[in-house]
Amino acid sequence: MSTAAPTPRTDWTVPEKPGLEDLETRWDSHWEEQGTYRFDRTATRDGVFSIDTPPPTVSGSLHVGHVFSYTHTDTIARYQRMRGKSVFYPMGWDDNGLPTERRVQNYYGVQCDPSLPYDPAMPTPTPMSERPKEEQKKLPVNISRRNFIELCNLLTTEDEKAFEQLFRTLGLSVDWSRTYATIDDHCRRVAQRAFLHNLDRDEAYQAEAPVLWDVDFRCAVAQAELEDREMPGAYHRIPFVHTGTGEPIFIETTRPELIAACVSLVAHPDDERYQPLFGTTVRSPLFGVEVEIRAHELADPEKGSGIAMICTFGDITDVTWWRELQLDTRPIVTDNGRIASEVPEWIAAGGPDAIAAYEKLAGKTVKQAQVLIVELLREAGALDGEPKPITHPVKFYEKGDRPLEILTSRQWYLRNGGRDLELRGALLERGSELHWHPGHMRVRYENWVNGLNGDWLVSRQRFFGVSFPIWYPLDADGQPMHDSPIRAEEAALPVDPATDTPQGYDESQRDQPGGFTGDPDVMDTWATSSLTPQIATGWGEDPDLFERTFPMDLRPQAHEIIRTWLFSTAVRSHLEHDSLPWRNAGISGWVLDPDRKKMSKSKGNVVTPLHLLEQYGADAVRYWAASGRPGTDTTFDEGQMKIGRRLSIKLLNASRFALGLGSADGSAVVHDASAVTEPLDRAMLADLARLVDDTTAAFDGYDYARALERTESFFWQFCDQYLELVKTRAYGSRGDHAAASAQAALQLALSTLLRLFAPFLPFVTEEIWSWWQEGSVHTAPWPDASELRERAADGDPLAFAMGAEVLSAARRAKTEAKRSLKWPVELIAVADTGARAAALQSVVADVQEAANAESVTVDLAAESAVTVTLAAEPDGA
């Protein structure tokens, strides 16, 4: 592929009144017709640049945060395309998960019941909003999982159209023929296939273990989905009675309602107060259950009385103690967040009083139980003083409203290095193989991997999502045999074990003793999202495409999901392909509101982008976005959009000038680049060559913002200084030869600048390009500095700088004298050092004309000085 500047047409015309109106619609449909951004799949891997686009969540609407980060990616995509790469730039939609599930439930008044069979003839329900009032009060209709997913597809398709339209208006150079949705069959097939491979390699396993449980969602929650929230609580000082001495041992707890679940007391091994008691026992108040006093380093002598009650389970430290001290399991909280209604055996053993006390708590929520038990303790004289209010961090599911409980249950896990130092080391190594932009983001990855304390919990007790492609045989009592799961055939994927029948069985055997039952859980949404590279590149389904695009070149994403999305994707690829999923990670910052707070739906400070695109135009909005440094949080600033718009208008006008020169009738005069003979023109081109070097290096380092800043800064110099200096000569004041030099340089410079701006301002650059060039600027070659240097020949950037400096001095003199800029100058006397004086001398004729000066003298001196003498009166005044 040639990298020389494309040859202009010879029949160009320049619009009389160029404008920015309607560019988006016009060029978007043109690009679509021309297939400008189609992936060329004849390209081999080294000629491809592939992008693992983040699939936005399809619920609600896009906001400026999307516009911001997706623009960053697009500038890189456009740069790589101009560098001759076949850019693989698909778009995904994340319509998997709770938000979609809830929307479909409310919109259609339905509820998923996975036990129901699929009804292929089910009519689409009338949306709730279109139903009569009295009908809206009816209970939701239960439908099968497959029918439910079909409704999800139906509803999200509409949202996806709106998203695509907005992204098109923004000018993303996505190949819109390549989209995927995370609930579609393809994605579910990939997720299930990857899971089966993990299972075959023993990377996926099930275990009965304590899990953090959201009692409202009735669902297990993974480490990555946790957050701490500061919550009010109170320390309750409660005596346990020592079985030997009869003395009270005071513990302090924030969760007195769990006394019935107490399995031990614990103190620090070095704590002299309690050392004599280790190995002896106490009885719990109210229930009289005998528990042992144990020693463990995690007990904090400074906290409360220094001795703590271990329950199964009150918090995650209890889990550690329970595991390391091999304690009994005595759960009393059930999956709905209430105290179990049946009296547990260890309580029943305590006699009628214990049973009576427990029965008062049974069936209550933990919150109600706490109030009750405080009363009971007080009545029994087992509460020392009043509870002391404190504020402490409590674990929540990030989308949940009530504190998490800890329950034991059977779940699927995926190995991620959380319990395996060797795997952890390998994943850390992957992190250092990856090129991070900016580099310091790697540390977040490393911190996360080093802080893992368990494998990845991937099963969720939800209805909607990708099912595990697994059934279990039932024994003669109808109990599932979890140790011998029946895996689905790969060719049959995707499957829904709730309605599909495993091979070797008949549907009539479902849930019958000796028959089979489907795994009831679905996968964590990250289990699908972590496979976006495999989904996009056709892993396992289109080996030819996979070969050309994987591992991908770039994963663009935001920094707060390094621990989730980026890490989990690295895990899946490491396990499946023994490689990184991509070579580069481009991490975008956030958009902050003017108070420097992150824009988020929950804060209500979100700005939607549609009106911005209408008001300022896509190029201007992109200009603002591309000004945000990689990885840096950026303040939302409409002022930047105004500047972007001004820049676009300036481009139109400067182009109109440059291309309108040289002929009276407006038709084109194409100059051979060898026509560039004047020192000023050569100096400008030499300067431009440096700019091309700079911006190319910046883009190669994924620093689009730097590339934009450099280009913009050059462009304003170009307009304010160069155009003014050559204007009269370009019109022909010093003959055809000198004019041709200017015109040729202007054409080459404009061609170069349009291509440098194209990744940022795709619409206005394409518009101008279409005036005088063949094809699209977006598939034109990226500018070549060596070509410019060749044309610049002996050009010295200093000559351009000197010309600009002296012209500025003349302008300053006129402005300070309150004269117009065309006011004549009698004399400009310049004194300067050797090299600077010589550089100026070479362009002195251009300076003289631009300043409208009678004469310009250049003398050698040790110090620079410019003296401007204005004419007394303008000619003809």
Partner RNA sequence: GGGCGUUUGGCUCAGUUGGUUAGAGCAUCUCCCUUACAAGGAGAGGGUCGGGGGUUCGAAUCCCUCAACGCCCA
650 binds RNA (CB under 7 A): yes
Q: What are phi and psi of 144, to 5 degrees?
A: -75, 165
Query: In 10 A of CB 112, how many CB atoms?
Result: 23
634 binds RNA (CB under 7 A): yes
Site string for RNA, 555-594 (x = CB under 7 A): ----xx--x------------------------------x
7 binds RNA (CB under 7 A): no
392 binds RNA (CB under 7 A): no
- Residues 817-836 within binding reach of RNA (CB under 7 A): 818-822
Residue closer to RNA, measured from CB, 51 or 449: 449
432 binds RNA (CB under 7 A): no
Residue closer to RNA, measured from CB, 428 or 643: 643
Tell me how far apart the terminal alpha carbons of the chain are, to the nearest angstrom: 59
- Dihedral (CA of 38, 41, 44, 45) sign: positive
* Binding test (CB under 7 A) with RNA, winner from 440, 504, 834, 875: 440
Segment interacting with RNA, rule: CB under 7 A, options 456-464, 495-503, 631-639, 673-681: 631-639
Which region, left, alpha or beta, applies to residue 818 given φ > 0 means left and ψ of -120 to 50 means alpha? left
Residue closer to RNA, measured from CB, 137 or 822: 822
The two tokens of residue 661 are 């020169």
Closest CA to 708 of 625, 639, 804: 625
Residue closer to RNA, measured from CB, 139 or 862: 862
User: In the 8-state DSSP scheme, what is residue 779?
Assistant: G
Could you give the CA distance from residue 529 to residue 565 in angstroms, rounded to a whole number?
7
596 binds RNA (CB under 7 A): yes
Q: DSSP alpha helices (H): ranges in 550-632?
A: 567-577, 610-616, 618-626
Residue closer to RNA, measured from CB, 793 or 860: 860
179 binds RNA (CB under 7 A): no
Could you give the CA distance from residue 376 to residue 374 in angstroms, rounded to a whole number?
5
Cis peptide before 256 (omega within 30 of 0): no
Residue closer to RNA, measured from CB, 220 or 723: 723
723 binds RNA (CB under 7 A): yes
720 binds RNA (CB under 7 A): yes
Contacts of residue 663, Cβ cutoff 8 Å, sequence gap at least 6: 669
* Binding test (CB under 7 A) with RNA, winner from 216, 227, 490, 506: 227
Distance of alpha carbon 181 from the chain centroid: 17
Residue closer to RNA, measured from CB, 25 or 136: 25
713 binds RNA (CB under 7 A): yes
604 binds RNA (CB under 7 A): no
Segment interacting with RNA, rule: CB under 7 A, options 457-465, 476-484, 496-504, 629-637: 629-637
Is 410:206 a contact under the CB 8 Å cutoff?
yes
814 binds RNA (CB under 7 A): yes
**Count of alpha carbons within 13 angstroms of residue 229, beta-carbon side:** 13
- Residues 18-47 within binding reach of RNA (CB under 7 A): 19
Residue closer to RNA, measured from CB, 362 or 831: 831
Q: What are phi and psi of 789, to 5 degrees?
A: -65, -35
Size of the site for RNA (CB under 7 A): 59
- Residues 442-471 within binding reach of RNA (CB under 7 A): 443-444, 447-448, 451
629 binds RNA (CB under 7 A): yes
Residue closer to RNA, measured from CB, 369 or 799: 799
Could you give the CA distance from residue 461 to residue 762 in angstroms, rounded to a whole number?
46
Q: What angle do CA 617, 622, 624 make, to 5 degrees?
A: 105
12 binds RNA (CB under 7 A): no
323 binds RNA (CB under 7 A): no
- Residues 653-712 within binding reach of RNA (CB under 7 A): 653-654, 656-657, 660, 706, 709
Q: What angle do CA 290, 293, 298 make, to 5 degrees?
A: 135
Q: What angle do CA 607, 610, 614 make, to 5 degrees?
A: 125
Is 461:213 a contact under the CB 8 Å cutoff?
no
Residue by residue, DSSP assigns 704-763 as: HHHHHHHHHHHHHHIIIIIIHHHHHHHHTTTHHHHHHHHHHHHHHHHHHHHHHHTTT-HH
Is 750:711 a contact under the CB 8 Å cutoff?
no
Burial of 505 from C-beta contacts in 10 A (0-12 / 13-18 / 19+): middle
* Binding test (CB under 7 A) with RNA, winner from 71, 86, 147, 223: 223
Tell the smallest beta-carbon distance from residue 347 to RNA (Å): 32
236 binds RNA (CB under 7 A): no
Residue closer to RNA, measured from CB, 17 or 133: 17
598 binds RNA (CB under 7 A): yes
Segment interacting with RNA, rule: CB under 7 A, options 244-252, 456-464, 649-657, 774-782: 649-657
* Binding test (CB under 7 A) with RNA, winner from 816, 833, 865, 867: 816
Q: Which residues sit at the interface with RNA, rule CB under 7 A?
A: 19, 223-224, 226-228, 393, 440, 443-444, 447-448, 451, 559-560, 563, 594, 596-598, 627, 629, 632-635, 637, 639-640, 642-643, 646, 649-650, 653-654, 656-657, 660, 706, 709, 713, 716, 719-720, 723-724, 727, 808, 811-812, 814-816, 818-822
